[in-house]
Amino acid sequence: MSADKPTSGTQGGGKKRGQAKGRTKAQGKKSAAPAVKSDQLLFAGADWNFDTIQRTYDAIEEIALGELGLDLYPTRLEVITAEQMLDAYASVGMPVMYSHWSFGKRFAQQETLYRKGLQSLALEIVINANPSLCYIMEENTMATQATVIAHAAMGHNHFFKHNQTFKRWTDADSILEDLRYARRLVAECEEYYGQQAVERLLDAAHALSAQGVDRDRRGDRPDLAAERRRRQEQRHAEREATDDLWLRTVPKPAGGQVREPEDEQLEAQRRSLGLPEENLLYFLEAYAPLLENWQRDLLQMVRELAAYFEPQRQTKMMNEGCATWTHYQIMNRLRDNGQIDEGTMLEFLHLHAHVIAQPTFDDRGFSGMNPYALGFAMMQDIERICTEPTEEDKAWFPQIAGNGKPHATLREAWAEFRDESFILQYLSPRLIRELRLFKLRDDSAEDNYVVEAIHDDAGYKRLRRALSEAHDPVAAQPRIEVVEANLRGDRKLYLEHRVQDRRQLDAMETRRVLRHIAFLWGYDVQLTEVDADTGERIAVHNPKD
């Protein structure tokens, strides 16, 4: 995954292809290793074949499982072409995806960027599944293949398997099955109800997918297909019971149609609405009065997939840090063992340097903190604190400083934290100094930016907290809740945005999303922006403005 892409989409790893290509071949050949070692070399030169990959994989796995103590899902390496990589990009990195025009749009975008040479492709994509799927590009040189195997098939793989966030939110065993189900469901619905109707619904659902995640209540991850079956059966039973009752007691209306006792249902629903509700998708799926069952099924599908991607948003930096640290360790060990030659090592270092480059804020290439760079730096820093702590480290990290067990410490950190808490726990003053971090206040009411903290004693803790908050997708997202739904009268739906630090919603975008919500809800919708501190109403949005 490249650092400058939006993070929500592509799975797992993947690094920008630098200028590395082209020069590797010559180098690989020039620096032929000494004869003594050559029989230990896993490969020589840039070309790869399935034998060298297998051999290299085995050597890498040995180091990962042995020395680093990683624990992995079984891996499936799949070799794909650049074109297939573009395809994978478009379907958010997944091998199976349902059909929707937005994937076509993404594909057209990526293709244009790629063909114009504005953006290079990821070197690999790894899917959080069991067995873990790792796509590697055929164009990679053997040195690159070794790096991406160490990065994705070891680092990301271990992280997926052990990190709490992933364990709680996703089910690696069933994700491919879920995706196949999603594709089937969409195709079936399109067949029955028409492509247009399905796309209309998916458009609306996609607009809300960021609001479709239960951030407070975690851990429920029902099997999609089973859930749907269960609901269908339930509906069927309900209908039969009602039909029976109605058919026997009520004379048929002239039209021959049997009306369901709607009011009764709504009354029951209102009791169980459970407001306020932050999961808009869930709320609409459960309570929108006019939706058909298939529409609810689709909403549920989008919601479940959004939940699948949530851990990746929450652990982006750690995940990349883990993978980058792992590939760095492994490649160095291979070199120490004489299993790769100097040319390969140089190519690897070039690639690695490209991946962890962190331009400073005034650099033209600056686009925020590079998760690879920060992650890798923090992992290295933790390793250092464990083995060679300074007095400062001992004061700041008494529980791990000098414990002499860097690998175990890292493994524990990878398992228990997400980006936000990881930074809060492990970002050291020394790293803050090295990165020369500073905190800037950007207030639209003030003429100037104000420097609030720099890398000094007074600033460490504040910087750490601010950086931690910046890595919390929950905080980055506006918090919008359903606060009231009038199910008896005009059936209006009331939403509320609690405004922090006067950061209001973009009016135009909000209106567009509200239109989607109104479509799903079937009746009028209103969103009020309320200051979180004072409770004062700041703005009101309507879909029809």
Partner 1 sequence: MRIIDRRQNPKGKNLGNRQRFVNRTRTQLREALAENIRRRSVSDTSSGETVTIPTDGTHEPEFKRDHSIGQRSRVLPGNKEFREGDQIQRPPQGGGSGSNASEDGEGEDDFVFTLSRDEFLDLLFEDLRLPDMVKRELKAEDAAKPKRAGFSTSGPQNRLNMVRTMRYSLARRAALGRPKPAAIEEIERELERLEAGEIQPANGRPAETRIEELKTRLKQLKRKRSKVPYIDPYDLRYNRFEHVPQPIAQAVMFCLMDVSASMNQEMKELAKRFFMLLHLFLQRHYDSVHVVFIRHTNFASEVDEDTFFHGQQTGGTIVSSALKEMLRVVEERYPTSSWNIYVAQASDGDDVPGDVKHCAELLREQILPITQYMAYVEIDPGQRLRTGFVDSDESDLWRGYEPLSQEQENFTMRRIGEPGDIYPVFHDLFRQRETTS
Pair 324, 355: CB distance under 8 Å: yes
Site string for partner 1, 292-331 (x = CB under 8 A): ----------------------------------------
One-letter amino acid at 333 equals R
Count the residues of the shown chain that bind partner 1, applying the rule CB under 8 A. Answer: 101
In this complex, which beta carbon is closest to partner 1, that of residue 391 or of residue 447? 447
Site string for partner 1, 185-214 (x = CB under 8 A): ----------x---x---x--xxxxxx---
Alpha carbons 438 and 435: distance in angstroms, whole number: 9
- The total of other beta-carbon atoms located within 10 Å of residue 245's CB is 11
- Should residue 496 be labelled a site residue for partner 1 when binding is judged by CB under 8 A? no
In this complex, which beta carbon is closest to partner 1, that of residue 101 or of residue 261? 101
In this complex, which beta carbon is closest to partner 1, that of residue 33 or of residue 57? 57
Window 53-82: residues binding partner 1 (CB under 8 A): 53-54, 57-58, 61, 74-81
Write down the residue that tokens 């059909």 correspond to: 99
- Should residue 109 be labelled a site residue for partner 1 when binding is judged by CB under 8 A? yes
CA of residue 270 relative to chain centroid, distance: 34
Instruction: By CB under 8 A, name the one of 262, 391, 447, 490 that touches partner 1.
Output: 447
- List C-alpha distances in Å: 169 to 64, 175, 277, 492: 26, 11, 19, 33
- The total of other beta-carbon atoms located within 10 Å of residue 45's CB is 19
Q: For the purposes of burial, counting CB atoms within 10 Å of the CB of 319, is it exposed (0-12), middle (13-18) or buried (19 or more)?
A: buried
- Should residue 353 be labelled a site residue for partner 1 when binding is judged by CB under 8 A? no
- Should residue 507 be labelled a site residue for partner 1 when binding is judged by CB under 8 A? yes
- Should residue 22 be labelled a site residue for partner 1 when binding is judged by CB under 8 A? no
- Should residue 150 be labelled a site residue for partner 1 when binding is judged by CB under 8 A? no
In this complex, which beta carbon is closest to partner 1, that of residue 117 or of residue 219? 117
Of 10-18, 30-38, 301-309, 448-456, the window that binds partner 1 (rule: CB under 8 A) is: 448-456
**Residue 11 CB, nearest distance to partner 1 (Å)?**
16
- Alpha helices per DSSP H over 315-364: 316-336, 342-355
Alpha carbons 543 and 525: distance in angstroms, whole number: 7
Look up residue 445 and give its DSSP letter: T
Nearest to 100 by CA among 10, 200, 11: 200
In this complex, which beta carbon is closest to partner 1, that of residue 220 or of residue 457? 457
In this complex, which beta carbon is closest to partner 1, that of residue 33 or of residue 80? 80
**Residue 515 CB, nearest distance to partner 1 (Å)?**
8
Question: Per DSSP, what are the bridge partners of residue 134?
Answer: 77, 126
Window 374-413: residues binding partner 1 (CB under 8 A): none
In the structure encoding, which two tokens stand for residue 313, read together?
């948003």
Nearest to 430 by CA among 467, 378, 471: 378
Window 121-140: residues binding partner 1 (CB under 8 A): 135, 138
